[in-house]
Structure 1
């Protein structure tokens, strides 16, 4: 009898337990439909539309070069002499300072001898002019007074009337004058001075070295004003104008400079399909050969939105998230750069898919991360 009662009680317990388990399973199956429509959908990144004024920027990378540089070459033969400031790598020179001096003692003596002979001829000419051409005597006396053995010859009195010119040519005045001027020009080539402020690089000259015409002594690189050259794709180059502002920084993020577009090449590089853009920039920390990243400010667009470039698909369409599913939307692409695109035509508050999804398609179930905030 007791055994029968235990059997009945055990059966009742099993029935009650089965009912409880069944109810639990039913609740688990029904909860996605009742409480969380997003459960089971793929979580994605979205951008909430907030239309406004968007600045169009064109990213660039390029190398800085000085706007002024000059190869320092010998134009005459001779021996290099010591200079007040050594011509060495890293040494800076101001405009007009002596870079290199080639021994010119022999040539200088020749010039002085020729100039002395010319001066003697002038002294003999003036008395004859008083009788032959008295109307020009005064200005030739003035010219004679300005001739110095230690200074370059002054310019000839001008204009020369035909009669005066022939008179001077017959007495060898013009021939001697231009011979001396040519020798003075040659003498000046023995002293090389800096045409601008700069710094020496690639120096290859020591005092005592014998040089010949064409011998490379080094290079003078200008300091202060620099130029950055960068390639810009044809589609973006059309947005640029001379004078546009450019924000620059080091490729490692260090340093900041502001420049402006100085010129834009009209020829496209057939290999890269880019135009060359040259940015004028100056400031501390810049050096010839330094690479910089930058962004060119190419204007603004009103009532627009900036999106990652990959979020805008062919034919100007984007994916919107509506009712937990993807759907196509047409937009007006105002600007498409390498990294981002600027579009119009979206409504405030709409959610745009910004994540790369290889299998994305209209109707795909998705759920914005963080509720699309």
Structure 2
């Protein structure tokens, strides 16, 4: 009897527990799911305002001196010590002697030839007095002004045919030009600075035996430099001489002002580029310095310039409409290393100023507001 009572109590307890558990399940089934809050990114924006955008071409190269002279010897001789050392970095003023070779032996042969010319003219003076008294005086004056220690003076002008035959027949004209040729060669034993500048290379030293055709060094004018740059052929018709150019050094710590001095008239068939030469002056510049040049090639009307990373591969950019991202097609006109010039972007369009990671059309965003509650405009 007790056993039946215990089983009856357990059965009632199980039924009550089942009812409670069923009600619990029913209540949980109708409970609303938790709402996951949406993350809205804050983005930097710009308002489009189309304008004329200058096309800036970036190019780079090394500086070379505009005035440069490679020094070669045309004669042979011993390099003599001068007032200044012939060393790299040595400065010379215009007209100063760069190199002087020992010309004592050659100088003696020149003086001998000049003496022969003087003697030849002196030998015909008696015949001139008798046969050509009207031209005697000009030849006598020539002899009086003849100085062996100075450059041979030009022969008197021969006025008549008979005088010409007489003078030429005595070998005076040929002797005269032989002397002038020797004198001209004598000047090659001394190399003079054609302009004020500095030696950048010295290949010989004092006491060296210099041979004919030997390179002696290089001499430059350090006040004016030029840089050769290669520009795309598409700018061949708009790149002009005299165009202002801004140059920067490799560290981008200094800028220099230059101008386009020359533009090559032909296009390189291999690279399809045109060569332009930029002239620049500054006391801080040195030959061989690496500079980057920005050339103003042209202007594009009704366009804007934005960060190159904002342009999608499909030639579209993100815009903001009603706090949602959207895309619009654009027309790229010019690409630089960091930016791109676009057309077909309506004025007043709100676009991104910086790329947004994971952006997609329809994404909720919030525009960052400046202190004056207005967004910047991009041109």
Q: TM-score, normalised by structure 1?
A: 0.80
User: What is residue 113 of structure 2 aligned with on the other side?
Assistant: 114
Cα drift, residue 312 of structure 1: 5.0
Contact 1:43–1:366 (CA under 8 A) maintained in structure 2: no
In structure 2, relative to structure 1, the CA distance for the partners of 1:236 and 1:45 (3 Å cut) is: farther
Distance in 2, matches of 1:232 and 1:314, equals: 25
Structure 1 alignment gaps of length 5 or more: 1-6, 33-38
Distance in 1, matches of 2:101 and 2:234, equals: 54
In structure 2, relative to structure 1, the CA distance for the partners of 1:130 and 1:340 (3 Å cut) is: farther
Cα drift, residue 248 of structure 1: 1.1
Structure showing greater Rg: 2
Stretch moving more, 87-96 or 148-157:
148-157
Q: Deviations over 1:163-219 (max 9, x none)?
A: 443322101110110111111011111111111222112212222211210222221
User: What is residue 245 of structure 1 aligned with on the other side?
Assistant: 244
User: What is residue 264 of structure 2 aligned with on the other side?
Assistant: 265
Task: For residue 213 of structure 2, give the secondary structure of its aligned residue in structure 1.
Answer: coil
User: What is residue 35 of structure 1 aligned with on the other side?
Assistant: none
Instruction: Give the RMSD, CA atoms, in angstroms.
Output: 3.4
Distance in 1, matches of 2:108 and 2:281, equals: 46
In structure 2, relative to structure 1, the CA distance for the partners of 1:65 and 1:127 (3 Å cut) is: same
Cα drift, residue 309 of structure 1: 4.1
Cα drift, residue 145 of structure 1: 4.1
Report 1:1-373 matches (<5 A): 22=31, 25=33, 28=35, 39=39, 47-158=46-157, 161-309=160-308, 311=310, 318-323=317-322, 324-331=324-331, 333-353=332-352, 363-365=361-363, 367=365, 370=368
In structure 2, relative to structure 1, the CA distance for the partners of 1:356 and 1:107 (3 Å cut) is: same
Cα drift, residue 147 of structure 1: 2.8
Cα drift, residue 143 of structure 1: 3.6
Distance in 1, matches of 2:158 and 2:329, equals: 81
Cα drift, residue 355 of structure 1: 5.8
Cα drift, residue 151 of structure 1: 1.7
Contact 1:321–1:366 (CA under 8 A) maintained in structure 2: no
In structure 2, relative to structure 1, the CA distance for the partners of 1:145 and 1:281 (3 Å cut) is: farther
Contact 2:42–2:368 (CA under 8 A) maintained in structure 1: no
Q: Deviations over 1:95-128 (max 9, x none)?
A: 2111111111111111112112212222344453
Contact 1:261–1:279 (CA under 8 A) maintained in structure 2: yes
In structure 2, relative to structure 1, the CA distance for the partners of 1:342 and 1:190 (3 Å cut) is: same
Structure 2 alignment gaps of length 5 or more: 1-15, 370-374
Task: For residue 202 of structure 1, give the secondary structure of its aligned residue in structure 2.
Answer: strand
Contact 1:248–1:257 (CA under 8 A) maintained in structure 2: yes
In structure 2, relative to structure 1, the CA distance for the partners of 1:160 and 1:55 (3 Å cut) is: farther
Aligned length: 347
Contact 2:43–2:368 (CA under 8 A) maintained in structure 1: no
Distance in 1, matches of 2:358 and 2:225, equals: 49
In structure 2, relative to structure 1, the CA distance for the partners of 1:107 and 1:44 (3 Å cut) is: same
Contact 1:71–1:218 (CA under 8 A) maintained in structure 2: yes
Contact 1:63–1:292 (CA under 8 A) maintained in structure 2: yes
In structure 2, relative to structure 1, the CA distance for the partners of 1:321 and 1:75 (3 Å cut) is: same
Q: Deviations over 1:318-371 (max 9, x none)?
A: 44343413232344x55444543333432222133566689987x453636636
